[in-house]
Amino acid sequence: MDKQASVKLPIAAFAEKRVTWLELFYDLLFVAAVAKASHVLLHMEDGVIPFEYLGKFVLIFVPIWWAWVGQSLFNNRFGQDLLSHRLFMIMQLFFVLIMTASLNVDFDRYYMPFLIGYTGLRAVTAIQYLSVRGNGDSSHHQAAARFLGRCFWIGLAISASSLFFDGWVRYVVLYAGIAVDILIPIAGRKYLVKSPIQTHHLLERFSLFTLIFLGESVVSALAILESIEWSWSSIGYASVSFFLIIAIWWHYFENVEKRVNKHKETAGQTIIYGHFFIYFSLCMLAASIQLLLLEQFDYRFMIGFVFGSAALYFLSTAIVFHRYRQSHQVWRNDHFASLAALLALFAAFDTFVEVPGYVILLEMFLFFAAYAFLSSRSSQAVTETKSTVA
């Protein structure tokens, strides 16, 4: 099937591509990793999530996100459904299993398998970049692959050197390497803008990964029904949770399907780094669905946690979808201001008037329903305008 291990770059390789079955299978293995990260936020002591667990959630979440992003970006620019490519992906799946099994709040106990899993993943990706070969028509793509393939080893070397340290210094070095890894595409932007992403494919990949994070909210809604006695109040709470999830889904995919320009040529960094905050907020919202049901939570903490997660999602999606909006669409300041005012009004009211958890959840549903409605309305207005002009 393949006569050589290197990835060649014929012009056809940069035609619009589709997500492969192997990429979908790759995502499947990250479901458990996302679940493990999200469940860290369910640890409560004295009505709050301890700062220790909030910090550990971040430290678990970041490498999961970046490991998935790293391979997805390679597939987007250089991936082909060849035997060599499949073998590289299968090797990565092995390291994904190791990394996922090692995700635990007891960092010291699982440090070594985590290091093997994460560095193994990133090393395979770096080797893939170095294996890229091309012809004269793809010199910019070769330059981007060569830059990433070489520079990713810097972050890997730093993370691997954590083996020579003990205690908290070990983790500082480990995550310093991960931080360098994450910042390398930004440092190499001058190479990457000349080797643009395939926006349609990348948005499809991130959208599919978004479904995994929304799945955590569904799991939270199911956990509510399983953990308490069935009553009208519990059914009502679960129903509001379900409609909240639908509103988030509606808003996100309404934008992806109808408002973004899938043929825009960029380095893709707004999509990549913007989705870090989108996914982060979705984990917080998934945890909020379960935590709001508890009567033991600290009220002020939960107000900040819930409304903070909604604000983070609101701002990050606004930036990502505005950056990739279609050329005939305009930024609606009135929509943005109205939604920001609605969220601020709910937060201010709940700060001064203590309300039950289900009321806070209902407010979240109303906000996201409004966000989805305004997105749909804008999309319909644009469609009607284009039809009239035609």
Residue 354 phi, psi dihedral angles, 5° rounding: -70, 125
Q: Could you write out the three-class secondary structure of 84-147? A: HHHHHHHHHHHHHHHHHHCCCCCHHHHHHHHHHHHHHHHHHHHHHHHCEEECHHHHHHHHHHHH
| Structure-block tokens of residue 97 | 């299993």
Domain residue limits, the chain: 7-192, 199-389
> What are the residues whose beta carbons fall under 8 Å from the beta carbon of 91, sequence distance 6 or more?
120, 124
| Structure-block tokens of residue 91 | 């090797």
DSSP β-bridge partners for residue 155: none
At 1 the pLDDT is 42
For 278-340, the DSSP string reads HHHHHHHHHHHHHHTT-SSS-HHHHHHHHHHHHHHHHHHHHHHHHHTB-TT----HHHHHHHH
At 210 the pLDDT is 95
Q: Is 248 helix (H, G, I), strand (E, B) or coil?
A: helix
Q: Are 125 and 7 in contact (CB under 8 A)?
A: no
Q: Measured over all CA atoms, what is the biggest interatomic distance in the chain, rounded to whole angstroms?
A: 70
Q: Are 48 and 84 in contact (CB under 8 A)?
A: no
17-56 burial: b if 16+ Cβ within 10 Å, else e:
bebbebbeebbebbeebbbbbbbbbebbeeebbeeebbeb
Residue 310's alpha-carbon distances to 111, 285, 365, in angstroms, are 33, 7, 10
Does the pTM exceed 0.75? yes
Q: How far apart, in whole angstroms, are the C-alpha atoms of residue 360 and residue 300?
A: 12
Rounded to an integer, what is the distance from CA 373 to the centroid of its chain? 23
Residue that has been written with the tokens 């899993």 in this structure: 117
- pLDDT means per 10 residues, the chain with 390 residues, are 46 62 91 91 89 93 95 90 88 93 90 94 94 70 90 95 93 96 93 89 93 90 74 80 94 90 87 96 93 82 95 95 80 86 96 91 95 75 45
Q: Are 185 and 148 in contact (CB under 8 A)?
A: yes
At 194 the pLDDT is 87
At 259 the pLDDT is 85
Q: Are 276 and 65 in contact (CB under 8 A)?
A: yes
> What are the residues whose beta carbons fall under 8 Å from the beta carbon of 288, sequence distance 6 or more?
302, 305, 306, 309, 361, 364
At 16 the pLDDT is 66
